[in-house]
Amino acid sequence: MMPQYTYLAVGHNYFPTRCNLVLLVWTLLFRYKNHHLDSLGLRRRQVPGILKSLFRHRYKHAEQGASNILTLPAFGHLCIPVHKGYKIFDFSRSVATKVFDQDIDTLVAESEIEAVRKVSSLSFTPTLIEAKPGSRWYSETFIPGERSSRTESSVPDLIFNQVIVNHICEMVLSNPVRTLGLQEYTNSLSASVEQQLMQLESDHELSATAHEFIRTIIQKLKAAEYIPVQLGFTHGDFSFVNFIFHHKKKIAVIDWESAQHRSILHDLHNYFLTELYYGRTQGNLVKEINDSISLIAWELLRSNKSIEAETLEKSRDTYRWLYYIERMLVLLDREPSEIQKNVIRHSIETFSQHETSTSSRRGNSQTLFAKS
């Protein structure tokens, strides 16, 4: 039988009830900067209150089944609620453990663990240490570092975009690229998203908005010129939210729970459109995306002749529309809380804004493969 560890809820996070308090003070307070705890949402000013709560709990001998107590099969100094479970951080061993909720099907846990296993060999990801799908948990290396927005980053845009392109190409080349006909893939996405949209039925306005947006995009895809859609391995939420700056500004990518095969430009669009979502774009975003697509097409063509790189440039619109539907599927997979509904609403507004910008700038750029 696996050992069990109890955690006390303090604010939005959980902290170990049986950890040596002196060591916890050292870890959370004096090693705060070393572990970059601010990147995990923990503020230094919160630490004294956390320690006070733990001290009171320990000497009040609270009952094991109290509502503010959590029991999990892994030890750590900090436990954070995440999608489908909890993430436990053991800073002394530099290990992060994902524990799935008990109502999560083991097949879901197995799928996520397999995705983490696949990316472990990449140069910019955590490494899988141990996995127990049947017990619904896995552990990986913890990468300490800073999180910052694009505008706050000290890395110049041109260099930063090249790093992003390199990461995406490495992901794509790490797993076999699959190919599906455009209509076959569109029909598959359409069926999946229609099923997921059912959870929005209680919010009539948002449901109508989402249905109309998706219907419009599906119509565009069905009217588009046929292409073989290239599906590559993608992160699923490739954005500054999941970037860690570490070791002289190297960029690691964390939280691979949504990783799977999608249209090959999915992560590129997600990176740029997440910046638009947060209002952090500067200059001509459409040109920046097109230039980055050209970079990816060139890098993939140079590295793998079997990938139809030219199609990526000629079918930019199609791949952008596919991204919208794929992204909606990722968002609809989350619990439909009011916060998540607002995320969906604002995402649709962001996509619509970008479509307007793209249409207004159409014809202003040439592809890398355009003949002179």
Domain contains 365: no
Domain contains 275: yes
Give whichever of 41-45, 98-102, 356-360 has the largest mean pLDDT.
Answer: 98-102
pLDDT of residue 156: 54
The answer to whether residues 134 and 161 belong to one domain is no
The answer to whether residues 220 and 273 belong to one domain is yes
- Comparing 153 with 88, the larger pLDDT belongs to 88
The answer to whether residues 169 and 313 belong to one domain is yes
Please give the helix or strand (H or E) that residue 263 lies within, else none: strand 260-263
Cα–Cα separations (whole angstroms), residue 250 to 125, 145, 165, 233, 253: 11, 10, 14, 22, 10
pLDDT of residue 91: 95
CATH of the domain at 198: 3.90.1200.10
Residue 365 reports pLDDT greater than 50: no
> Which of 97, 114, 141 marks a domain boundary?
141
> pLDDT tier at 55 (50, 70, 90 boundaries)?
confident
Residue 59 reports pLDDT greater than 70: yes
Domain contains 369: no
| pTM given for the model | 0.89
Cβ contacts of 247 within 8 Å, gap of 6 or more:
145
The answer to whether residues 115 and 176 belong to one domain is no
Averaged pLDDT of the chain: 88
The answer to whether residues 9 and 107 belong to one domain is yes
Domain contains 119: yes
Tell me the residue range of the domain where 314 lies: 157-360
pLDDT of residue 367: 40
Total count of domains within the chain = 2
The answer to whether 8 and 54 are in contact (CB under 8 A) is yes
Domain contains 366: no
pLDDT of residue 152: 54
The answer to whether residues 101 and 171 belong to one domain is no
The answer to whether residues 207 and 344 belong to one domain is yes
The answer to whether residues 114 and 165 belong to one domain is no
The answer to whether residues 67 and 162 belong to one domain is no
> pLDDT tier at 137 (50, 70, 90 boundaries)?
very high
> pLDDT tier at 372 (50, 70, 90 boundaries)?
very low
C-alpha to C-alpha distance for 98 and 104, rounded to whole angstroms = 13
The answer to whether residues 71 and 127 belong to one domain is yes
The answer to whether 252 and 145 are in contact (CB under 8 A) is yes
The answer to whether residues 233 and 334 belong to one domain is yes
Q: Which 3 state secondary structure label does DSSP give 90?
A: strand
Crossing angle for the helix pair 204-223 and 182-196, nearest 10 degrees? 170
Angle at 128 between CA 124 and CA 133, to 5 degrees: 140
**Tens-place pLDDT, residues 6-52:** 999 999 999 999 888 889 989 998 888 888 898 888 988 999 999 89
β-bridge mates for residue 258, sequence order: none
The answer to whether residues 132 and 230 belong to one domain is no
Domain contains 211: yes
